[in-house]
Amino acid sequence: MCGDKIQLQQVILSLIMNGGEAMATTAGPKELLVTSQESPDGGVLVAVRDSGIGIKPGEMQRMFDAFFTTKSTGMGMLPGEYADRQSTATSDAP
């Protein structure tokens, strides 16, 4: 699989930062887990999980809309921005 390493790093770093922000206002233990594994089609699956409050069920359908956010401030750049731009990782990139 080929793709833009810098863009992929930015996506993962943004997800980690979002997870940290999501946990900042929660009580109790804070846990952030990043895992990766090869997918059945030869790609890579990356998961970022945190112990933040999560997203409301009614907002799930908008989660991949560009600029959607549940934050009181900010533009909501992920994951919608990168879902719309398919240049992050493509199988035919140099």
Comparison of pLDDT for 64 and 78, the residue scoring more: 64
**Rg of the chain taking only CA atoms, in angstroms:** 14
pLDDT above 90: residue 85: no
pLDDT for 78 equals 52
pLDDT above 90: residue 90: no
pLDDT confidence bin for 89, thresholds 50/70/90: very low
CATH of 2-88, one of 3.90.550.10, 3.30.565.10, 3.10.180.10, 3.10.20.740: 3.30.565.10
- What average pLDDT does this structure show over 78-89? 46
Break the chain down into helix, strand, coil percent, rounded to 5. 30, 20, 50
pLDDT digits (tens, 9 = 90+) for 23-74: 988 899 999 999 999 999 988 888 999 998 888 898 989 988 887 877 776 5
3-class DSSP assignment, residue 46: strand
